[in-house]
Amino acid sequence: MSNQKLKNTNLKGKKVLIRVDFNVPMQDGIITDDNRIVQALPTIEFVVNQGGRAIIFSHLGRIKTEEDKLSNSLKPVSIRLAELMGKDVRFVPETRGEILETAIKELKDGDMLMIENTRFEDLKGKKESTNDSELGAYWASLGDVFINDAFGTAHRSHASNVGIASNIKTSFPGFLLEKEIKFIGGAVDNPKRPFVAILGGAKVSDKIPVISNLLKTADKVIIGGGMAYTFLKAQGFDVGQSLCEEEMLDLAKELLERGKDKIVLPIDFLFTDEFKDKKPLHVGPITAIKKGEMSLDIGPETLKLFENILKTAKTIVWNGPMGVFEMENYRSGTIGVCEIIANVVDAITIVGGGDSAAAAIQFGFQDKFTHISTGGGASLEYLEGKALPGIECLNK
């Protein structure tokens, strides 16, 4: 699988089906973060500049009822794409049928068309999300070439990625998908060393396969966020009312035993007695926690510890915030990790999508990392070492 083949393919006059991940956050019909659209522009621009006729597919949100369709139309996304491209994007409010087919027939070289939210098909019997064979074949029949550039859904076998690729002669990865493979896949398979992974987020259960796989390849695995308290309790510490998955304690003990000197846990914390955005009551080691208290972020001594490890790394992968970064009083750990990684010299630095990517962008570090992934769940599964269906389907 190589984009050199894509670059050497004559797309002029070809109907090019492009699966992107434009599942962007929206509020009252307004896009609040267009990063995923921006990241897909190089692939779309390449197709258009080559004289290809771009037919763009994406999902948006969860579609479980007819009411969900009202707030999850891709029309606002098509408008934003047109603004970014400086070129009209024809929006078709259908996922199949005569109106769509006619619109595609009317396309000229270099034109762009976006079809409606692919997940609207799920209201007809989960046809998109279960990779309905008839739907995948139908969508494939609309084009000559397929490009998958949606890393965010690469861990899913859907009609709009695997279904199309299975029913079309020619398929390629887009430039964004290739970039994700290069950086995340490279970090797992052949990292420059020292290789340090830093994992946060709420639940250990979400990250166990990732930790297990990274213990095979990483030189250090730093753990922060809510998941750290399960590991601390597994070591015998009282974590008070801090988030803790009791059912994961045995697994946490096993990982600590396997990890031995590889796993690094926080050493100080910000304590409070309520899950509210108010100033911490005090800062200290986990042994300083008082009855009825919880920790919502890591402390300054932990940041110093993490910095000493990260500053010598040559490959860094970060997935998951260090605290409740949505609260102003408990975002210092996440911002601190952003700053530390951003200032590491001569290293490949990768943010593995999801909340950590949102935090990096929100706090102004978007241009300070080698790569910020557009996939949350896909990034995690790739870090687990899993084969992703949306990538494998292109390996013909």
Of the pLDDT bands very low, low, confident and very high (cuts 50, 70, 90), residue 315 is very high
- Alpha-carbon distance values, 292 to 272, 322, 381 (Å): 9, 21, 36
CA dist 235 and 224 (Å) reads: 15
What is the widest separation between alpha-carbon atoms in the chain?
70
Which range (27-31, 39-43, 185-189, 333-337) has the least confidence? 185-189
Q: Looking at beta carbons, which pairs linking 159-162 to residues 24 or more positions away fall under 8 Å?
A: 159/118, 159/121, 159/127, 159/128, 159/130, 159/131, 159/132, 159/135, 160/19, 160/57, 160/59, 160/118, 160/128, 160/136, 161/19, 161/389, 161/390, 161/393, 162/131, 162/136, 162/389, 162/390, 162/393
Task: Let me know if 31 is exposed, middle or buried by CB neighbors in 10 A (0-12, 13-18, 19+).
Answer: middle
| pLDDT in the model for residue 386 | 84
For residue 378, the model assigns a pLDDT of 87
Residues 43 and 260: their CA atoms lie apart, in Å, by 44
pLDDT at 220 over 90: yes
Question: Looking at residue 170, what is its pLDDT?
Answer: 94
User: Which residues are catalytic, by number?
Assistant: 36, 203, 354, 377
Q: What share of the chain is helix, strand, coil (3-state, %, to 5)?
A: 40, 15, 45
Each residue's pLDDT tens digit, 267-281: 999 999 999 999 999
In the predicted structure, residue 29 carries a pLDDT above the cut 90: no
Q: Round to whole Å and give the CA distance between 390 and 256.
A: 33
Band of the pLDDT at 190, cuts 50, 70, 90? confident
Would strands 145-148 and 170-173 be described as parallel, antiparallel, or unpaired? parallel
* pLDDT tens-digit series, residues 325-372: 999 999 999 999 999 999 999 999 999 877 888 888 888 888 899 998
Delineate the domains of the chain, giving CATH numbers in brackets.
Answer: 3-173 (3.40.50.1260), 180-267+297-383 (3.40.50.1260)
Lowest mean pLDDT among 49-63, 86-100, 321-335, 345-359: 345-359
More confident site: 238 or 183: 238
Stated pTM of the model? 0.87
Q: What is the pLDDT of residue 187?
A: 83
How many CB atoms lie under 10 A from the CB of residue 228? 30
109-168 tens-digit pLDDT: 999 999 999 999 999 777 999 999 999 999 999 999 999 999 999 999 999 999 999 999
Q: Would you call the peptide bond into 194 cis, given omega within 30 degrees of 0 as the criterion?
A: yes
User: At what angle are helices 75-85 and 35-49 packed, to 10 degrees?
Assistant: 60
Confidence bin at 396 (pLDDT 50/70/90):
low
Q: What is the Cα–Cα distance from 328 to 257, expressed in whole angstroms?
A: 35
28: pLDDT confidence band, cut at 50, 70 and 90? confident
d(CA 317, CA 308): 16
Question: By the 8 A CB rule, do 307 and 282 touch?
Answer: no
> Residue 19 pairs with which residues in a beta bridge?
57, 148
Mean pLDDT of 284-310: 98
Model confidence at 1: pLDDT above 70: no
Helix or strand run (H / E) with residue 25: none
Q: What are 350's strand-pairing partners? A: 317, 371
List C-alpha distances in Å: 213 to 202, 229, 347: 19, 21, 21
| pLDDT band with cut points at 50, 70 and 90 for residue 2 | low
Strand 269-272 and strand 294-298: the pairing is: antiparallel
